Amino acid sequence: MATLPQLIEEDTQALDKILREFLKRSDATAALILDKGGFLIAHHGDTSQFDVTTISALASGAYLANQTIANLVQETNFDSVYQQGENSSMFVTNVDENCLLLVIFPAQIGVGIVKFCAGVARERIAGQMLTAEARDPDGGFDLSELNIADTSSLFKRKE
């Protein structure tokens, strides 16, 4: 079963706008949308200080480990992960069954404002994903099945 709807330029522009508005409201440094397999879908903000591909994979793993811990303590769901550092903090929250929202923000900013703004952003992101899925319900794909070493099947010239 496909996990991610096929996104077109309209979708990526809408996601970019959502992230841009989220960063403006929350004063966060960067926001990333990733699938639960750890693959980066979209990002906005200052990501020059870290590798977005690696942080996406690791944050997804941390979120999924958190879900396993929830099951061990008979909790149905922990829907977010918060890591606080001296200079930067990270907040990862569930968007829908396929996606996560990852936020990097200065440690001086309270997590409460980030959580509040993230709630609005994740509803909008989930809505855009539903729009993309409705466009072609059977057209999605599982990013983990892609062979990144051989992209010839992905990028073909239209004839």
Whole-model pTM: value is 0.84
Nearest to 20 by CA among 136, 152, 125, 110: 125
Q: Kindly give the confidence (pLDDT) of every residue in the chain, 159 residues in length, as a single tens digit, with 9 standing for 90 and above.
A: 346 888 889 999 999 999 999 999 999 999 999 999 889 999 999 999 889 999 999 999 999 998 889 889 998 878 899 999 999 999 999 999 889 999 999 999 999 999 999 999 999 999 999 998 888 766 655 555 554 455 455 455 555
Would you say 81 and 66 are in contact if contact means Cβ atoms under 8 Å apart? yes
Query: Domains in the chain and their CATH numbers?
Result: 9-140 (3.30.450.30)
Under 8 Å between Cβ of 105 and 64: no
Over residues 76-112, the pLDDT tens digits come to 878 899 999 999 999 999 999 889 999 999 999 999 9
pLDDT of amino acid 12: 92
pLDDT of amino acid 136: 73
Tell me, what amino acid is at 139?
Answer: G
The whole-number pLDDT of residue 79 equals 87
Tokens standing for 42?
Answer: 């979209």
User: What's the order of all strands across the beta sheet hosting 30-35?
Assistant: 40-45, 30-35, 99-106, 88-94, 80-84
pLDDT of residue 140: 58
Which DSSP letter does residue 11 get? H
* Token couple for 26: 């929350």
Closest by Cα among 37, 27, 53 to 106: 27
State the CB neighbour count (10 A cutoff) for residue 94: 20
